[in-house]
Amino acid sequence: MPRKRRRPPPTAPSPPTAPAPPTEAPVSDTPTPGPDPAVGLDGIWLGLDLGTQSARCAAVDGTGQVLATASRPLTSRREGNRHEQDPEEWWTALSAACREALAGIDAGRIRGLAIDGTSGTILLADAHGTPRTPGLMYDDGRAADQAAAVNEAGGVVWQELGYRTMQPSWALPKLRWLLDHAPGPDMPPPAGLRLLHQVDLVTWRLAGRQVASDASHALKTGYHLVEECWPRKVMAELGIPEGMLPEVRRPGSVLGTVCRDAAAATGIPEGTRIVAGMTDGCAAQIGAGALAPGAWNAVLGTTLVLKGSSPHLVRDPAGVVYCHRGPGENWLPGGASGSGAGVISQHFHGENLDVLTAQAAALDLDAVAYPLVSTGGERFPFRAPEAEPFILGRVPTRAEEFHAYLLGLACLERLCFDYLDHLGAPVDGPLTLTGGGARNAYWCRLRADVLGRPVLLPEQAEAALGMAVLAATSSGAGLREAAAAMVRIREEIRPDPARTARLTPAYLRFTDELTRRGWLDPAVAAHARRRAAQ
């Protein structure tokens, strides 16, 4: 794929921190421009991505060619289980990234944009859209007491929605924490405050008024994805004013257009459509093109995250898998593990990984190491806060130990799919591998062989690309149609059936050990054995 020549930032004066919104900012009933079927995917689509460490803008055409990208760093404050960012920095960093990326781009071809953010990140703002609290980030865990109250009040609803309970890091417990702790003498009363998800602040600034939130970011705030409304009885019991909660639309809905002040701040043309986005994990899934029923995207970074597509809501009695609602009628089930490629940096820091990979590939042993990264235990494909790493088999050399961790991740990934199949989720569609771990060619082949299924490696799969694809649906194209045109596959790796058969006993030893330690449900282990025997 052609790479963008990095352009220097423009020398125009810095924009104001925020476009001036109206005194009150209700969601407007004024119709926004609809898609123009004559235009189709022709044009430029912007994907905006708010990650943990940076704000990013990507300009992509209707064939999937990335015309330009730029990013700006974001800073965090961490203290114990608390993790905060300054919400104003989201806007200033993203504005600067947009100005750099769009310098030299034909602005007349820009048709629409969508934005993703970190799941569960929230703040409180006043009626003018001015932040009145820090942004409590996706992994902020201060709201343990509030989570207990949230689960007592909404347990029936959470069960219906398939995830059973909310964790302290979810948005609704943190909202209740903010109402318990944040108000000070200069704060508006709760009735005058607005809950904003991370992206809601940016869409407010882009439109110059408050627009609807998207159902993907609203999931962890308790939005009822089946009935498509806020559960009023639960919110009332928790003391959350109804006027604090935003209107919600499905991802892919046109929310409004870029206003004049935002155009001056970002370089995005006035009138560009603002399309309801999704959380960063779902955005990466769209960027990988994993949208057909039964398709999955496995993102191997510090931890392993699986996101798939299902024609029905997948309910998990154990609460380790939950579903986003995608554009149209499809559901996006997924889970985030406490295990992943982070074990490589933990155990092999500073070593030559290319050399270790070559040595490991030559050995091709079947010792298995459980690749747990999180100090909080395992989250998926089972929940075990007490879980600890272990190694099955002898690993007398560094190369053998390295291979054991590569194989252990592949075994855990296979268990994830066995667990999803146990829940009734469709798992037999195409599988794409993305994330930093997918850059290791041997590891990708090992994962394909352990799974016994082909894997696809996209040319470029990232959240910003996924949001550009979602923005392109405002042309009238369906999401799968837009992804088929804009997501490019670099390579397909097909498994070696003989090697799959040889490595399956190692996988079953791995599941047996997890069961023996009391972490894995014996019913899930039995299901894995049945699938292995087929």
What residue type is 104 in one-letter code? G
* Distant-in-sequence, close-in-space partners of 126: CB < 8 Å, separation ≥ 6: 132, 188, 192, 193, 194
Question: Quick one: pLDDT at residue 350?
Answer: 92
Give tens-digit pLDDT for 93-149.
999 999 999 998 999 999 999 999 999 999 999 999 999 999 999 989 999 999 999
Mean pLDDT of 504-515: 98
Written in H, E and C, the secondary structure of 459-500 is: CCCCHHHHHHHHHHHHHCCCHHHHHHHHCCEEEEECCCHHHH
Residue 12 pLDDT: 34
Q: Is the pLDDT of residue 23 over 60?
A: no
pLDDT digits (tens, 9 = 90+) for 456-473: 999 987 899 999 999 999
Share of residues in the chain with pLDDT > 90 (%): 82
* pLDDT for position 6: 37
Cβ atoms < 10 Å from Cβ of 435: 21
Q: Which CATH class is domain 44-280?
A: alpha beta
pTM: 0.85
> Mind listing the pLDDT tens digit for each residue in 377-397?
999 999 999 999 999 999 999
| Long-range contact pairs involving 393-398 (C-beta distance under 8 Å, separation at least 24) | 393/365, 393/366, 393/367, 393/368, 394/367, 395/367, 395/369, 398/348, 398/351, 398/356
Instruction: Please list, in sequence order, all residues whose beta carbon lies within 8 angstroms of the beta carbon of residue 153, skipping any fewer than 6 positions away.
Output: 234, 237, 238
**Rounded distance, CA 175 to CA 200, Å?**
15
pLDDT > 80? residue 295: yes
CA proximity to 295, closest of 112, 304, 286: 286
Instruction: Give the fold, CATH level 3, of 290-460+496-533.
Output: Nucleotidyltransferase; domain 5 (3.30.420)
Count of CB atoms situated within 10 Å of the CB of 393:
14
Work out the number of other CB atoms within 10 angstroms of the CB of residue 517. 14
Mean pLDDT of the chain: 91
DSSP 8-state code for residue 314: P
Domain ranges in the chain are 44-280, 290-460+496-533
**Topology agreement, domain 44-280 and domain 290-460+496-533:** yes
Position 3 scores a pLDDT of 38
Q: How far apart are the C-alpha atoms of 113 and 47, rounded to whole Å? A: 6
Q: How confident is the model at residue 283 (pLDDT cuts 50, 70, 90)?
A: very high
**Whether the Cβ atoms of residue 41 and residue 475 lie closer than 8 Å to each other:** yes
**pLDDT of 41-63, one tens digit each?**
999 999 999 998 999 999 999 99
